[in-house]
Amino acid sequence: MVRRLACKRAYRFRFYPTPEQEQLLRRTVGCCRKVYNLALEARSTAWTAERRSITYVQTSAMLTQWKQTAEYSYMNEVSCVPLQQALRHLQTAFSNFFKQTGDYPRFKAKSHGGSAEYTRSAFTWDAKRNELTLAKMRGPLPIRWSRTLPRKTEPSTVTVSLDAAGRWHVSILVEEAIRPLPARGDAVGIDLGVDSYAVTSDGETIANPRHYRKLAERLEREQRALSRKTKGGNNRRKAALKVARTYARITDMRRDFLHKLSTRIIRENQTVVLEDLNVRNMARRCAPKPDPDNPNHWLPNGQSAKNGLNGSIMDAGWSEFRRMLEYKAEWYGRKLITIDRYYPSTQICSHCGAKTGPKGMPGLTVRAWTCPDCGTTHDRDLNAAENILAAGLAVSVCKDGRTGTKVSH
């Protein structure tokens, strides 16, 4: 009997609220943002002025006091559950900051949209009719069910979100038993790049779709139109919405590509090996710098961030691709190995093992080279992928590629 993995899985759907529902939802999202910002300001001020820490329990008491004042009495018009969840999210953000796994919490902006999370006590789920009704609403949300939810499951939390493009989405979190995929004997090493998105150790080259570049001209045109609009005017709001929709389209295209690629790789291979890339530092090193002689120009070669190597790295979405591989490998019984980021995969000959020195930055200089020891001619990316696979299989025997600790047998 195949053992199923019980885990929490979120299903995200688009919905189109009625005018009455949208008014309530916008008010709820706005109150959540206000509560989050007020609590963040209170905690930051207390520490800066008095070196005093404020806990989640204290911010919860503050919320009760805010709702009793005339200035914030409008918070009583929405459900109290999303407001309480906003304080919990702030507490999580501070915990991540103190653990050095996240940055210091930042204030939420209205232009970025927002979200509201409802726990089980704040919504009603009708499994027979497939209807979801939130607190203080008369009717169910008009959701476009693009996929079916698992049978005999009850949502634990529901998150309603409004993005900058004005689209409403609902994310339904359920407990699901996922069946692992049949075991395979295939293993693959993947070398991520900019010229080609990825090259695998079995010789497959995955083209880089360059989603940002496809819509760069339209985005630049819309941003110029936005800069000419008067601040605070209705025309500026419409122009900003156009820019946000173009950005949303780029994000959707990138996410669709990464989901399809990661799913295919997990289905076709039992073991997947990646490099532990530090994407943030790579993008920072490749970012263009302002020309000190002319602030309107950029160095090197007058490249802008969207057309230079920095923009290509950020457009690739390597971190999101790895995250998808991680949770899908866990779901479907696959093994994902990440080798050390300093492993010289491009400098080693995959045929004889000779170390031949640096080959330049990826995508800039040497694309093919011949090993001086054995005379084998290598494609740069294919050779790196083969070395990554070999290193990953080696560390899987004696060490964990991410932590460097030994694995018990």
The most confident of the ranges 176-185, 255-264, 283-292, 400-409 is 255-264
Closest of 124, 108, 113 to residue 41, by C-alpha = 108
Q: Using pLDDT thresholds of 50, 70 and 90, give the confidence band for residue 364.
A: low
Closest of 78, 65, 20, 3 to residue 38, by C-alpha = 65
pLDDT reported for residue 316: 83
Of 64-78, 268-282, 320-334, the one with minimum mean pLDDT is 268-282
Tell the residue number behind the tokens 């019980």, with chain if given.
6
**Tokens for 265?**
């790789």
Q: Report the mean per-residue pLDDT for the chain.
A: 87
Number of alpha carbons in the 13 Å side-chain half-sphere of residue 167: 16
Q: Using pLDDT thresholds of 50, 70 and 90, give the confidence band for residue 403.
A: very low
- Residues annotated catalytic, as ranges: 191, 275, 381
CB contact at 8 A, 283 and 256: no
Q: 407 pLDDT exceeds 50?
A: no
Helix (H, G, I), strand (E, B) or coil at 275: strand
Number of alpha carbons in the 13 Å side-chain half-sphere of residue 175: 5
Q: 203 pLDDT exceeds 60?
A: yes
| Segment 386-404 mean pLDDT | 73
Q: Using pLDDT thresholds of 50, 70 and 90, give the confidence band for residue 374.
A: confident
pLDDT reported for residue 293: 55
pLDDT reported for residue 409: 34
pTM listed for this prediction: 0.83
- Which amino acid, residue 71? E
The most confident of the ranges 31-45, 187-201, 301-315, 342-356 is 31-45
Counting residues of the chain whose pLDDT is more than 90, the rounded percentage is: 65
